[in-house]
Amino acid sequence: MKEKHKTVIFLGDGMADEPVPALAGKTPLQHARTPAMDSIAARGASGTVLTLPQGYPSSSDVANMSVLGCDLETEFCGRGVLEAISRGIPLGSEDIAFRCSLVSVKDGFLMDSAGGHISRHDAETAIAALNAELGSDTVRFHTGVSYRNLLVLSGKRHSTGVTCEKPDDHNGAEVAYHPPRPLFTPHIGWAESERRKWTVKTLCQIIADSERILTPLGLPANAVWPWSPGRAGTFTPLAEKYGITAAAVSAVDVIKGLGISLGMDVITVPGATGYIDTNYEGKADAVLKALADGYDFVYAHVEAIDEVSHAQDLQLKIKAIEDFDSRLIGRVMANAVGNVAYAVLPDHPVPLATGKHTRAPVPVAVWQPRTIPDDVQAFDEAAAPQGSLGLLQGPALMDLLLG
């Protein structure tokens, strides 16, 4: 009989990188001191995971859905929908949810896709101002976490058939060169073509009006960037797939919404911010409590590494990786009781050289009771591909851990 154990996935958002000249050709993960992650690799088995397959956006919703074994072809719904689910915002059949990032724009250029990491209070002020002037029966803004907010368009005139580029791919770029556009699809028909055009027109007007409305407020963010549209869909719960109870620990709505969609209980940690000042110890203690409370599977997600990677801050990325290792992973591993299996990986790379997501497979290390160790002794981008797990795709990682 297979030995019964619990499982924790530690997910360091955006942790993977490329060799950095300032680190003598090492990646930040290779350079950082990571004894906890290295111990998982040394005791277990390593490999890589393809989390951003071609044909889907190179965004964290897709990547985390891949890690959690979702069927992208049938379950991908857009980041806006997941964040709406997290916020408890009901979506009707004619509603389209967009992630609506509060951004900083100057002289027509995108200066900061994270809007200066605007405070919750300031974000609420901005969203209230937008609703006061632009809100209607068909246009509504909703607050989220810091710069991560939502726009919902309602009615039959709107379509999800629009292309909206990710703002964090275009820091420093001229905003006018990256507008929403109708998605080109052959033979869509006149009616759908008109809906796409109307949606693009609506979004472009909202973007233009937002800068006019927000700039006089003197906030760190002075415009909006809507992206990742979608309509509510359906997911297969993890309990149905694997017969488990599951919990998610995260500060950001996209992971909370994904967890809710998969039937996971979402644990809110006071002081969890989605940035480098997040409450690592609180997250670790939440994971330990979830294990003690009987959950079979816990997904522990940290956003901070991704944020500093987009900012192309080498020293903060190293610090965030080391905090993730010592203050979260190490704390859990030192205090967990009973048989607990561990996996650690990023959801996608964010090379400091560009500050943008890439589709390269990410390293993964897995330790389970009775794991036959391979020869890999460290957790990083160079060592992991030499491991015995090979390249994992689709639900392979979750099947390995829970199947």
The residue out of 230, 255, 283 marking a domain boundary is 230
Q: What is the pLDDT of residues 114-154, one digit of tens each?
A: 999 999 999 999 999 999 999 999 999 999 999 999 999 99
**What's the confidence (pLDDT) of residue 370?**
85
- Decide if 26 contacts 19 (C-beta within 8 A): yes
Which domain-ending residue is among 230, 257, 274? Answer: 230
Cβ proximity of 299 and 68 under 8 Å: yes
Q: How far out from the chain centre does Cα 356 lie?
A: 13
389 with 277, same domain: the answer is yes
* Residue finishing a domain among 178, 213, 230: 230
Residues 329 and 256 placed together within one structural domain of the fold = yes
Q: Does a structural domain hold residue 128?
A: yes
Residue 83 maps to a domain: no
Per-residue pLDDT of the chain (403 residues; tens, 9 = 90+): 455 899 999 999 999 999 999 999 999 999 999 999 999 999 999 999 999 999 999 999 999 999 999 999 999 999 999 999 999 999 999 999 999 999 999 999 999 999 999 999 999 999 999 999 999 999 999 999 999 999 999 999 999 999 999 999 999 999 999 999 999 888 899 999 999 999 999 999 999 999 999 999 999 999 999 999 999 999 999 999 999 999 999 999 999 999 999 999 999 999 999 999 999 999 999 999 999 999 999 999 999 999 999 999 999 999 999 999 999 999 999 999 999 999 999 999 999 999 999 999 999 999 999 889 999 999 999 999 999 999 999 999 999 999 8
Does 394 lie in the same domain as 245?
yes
Those residues with Cβ within 8 angstroms of residue 268's Cβ, 6 or more apart along the chain or in another chain? none
362 in any annotated domain? yes
- Sequence length of the chain is 403
Sign of the Cα pseudo-torsion (160, 162, 168, 171, in order): negative
* 161, 303: one domain: no
| Separation CA 353–CA 282 (nearest Å) | 32
Same domain, 337 and 250: yes
Name the burial class of residue 403, with classes exposed (0-12), middle (13-18) and buried (19+) by CB atoms within 10 angstroms of its CB.
exposed
pLDDT in tens, 257-291: 999 999 999 999 999 999 999 999 999 999 999 99
How many alpha carbons lie under 13 Å from residue 247 in its C-beta half-sphere? 21
Residue 184: the pLDDT is 87
> Quick one: 160 and 102 in the same domain?
yes
> What was the pLDDT predicted at 403?
83
Q: Is residue 61 part of a domain?
A: yes
Angstrom distance (rounded) from CA 126 to CA 359:
34
Beta bridge partners of 97: 152, 230
CATH number, domain containing residue 342: 3.40.720.10
Same-domain status, 61 and 157: no
Task: Let me know whether 171 and 317 are in one domain.
Answer: no
The verdict on residue 1 lying in a domain is: no
Q: Same domain for 221 and 209?
A: yes
| Residue 302 domain flag | yes
Instruction: Give the pLDDT of residue 1.
Output: 42
Q: In whole angstroms, what is the distance from residue 28 CA to residue 182 CA?
A: 39
Q: Are residues 62 and 171 in the same domain?
A: no
How many DSSP H helices and E strands does the chain contain? 14, 15
What distance in Å separates the CA atoms of residue 235 and residue 178, rounded to the nearest whole number?
Answer: 32
| Structural domain boundaries enclosing 126 | 88-230
Are residues 92 and 224 both part of a single domain? yes
Q: Please indicate, yes or no, if residue 35 is contained in any of the structural domains.
A: yes
Across-strand partners of 345? 11
Quick one: pLDDT at residue 2?
A: 53
The reported pLDDT for the residue numbered 302 is: 98
Q: Residue 3 has what pLDDT?
A: 59
pLDDT in tens, 102-123: 999 999 999 999 999 999 999 9
On whether both 148 and 116 belong to a single domain, the answer is yes
CA distance 337 to 154: 49
State how many domains the chain has.
Answer: 2
pTM equals 0.92
171 falls within a domain: yes
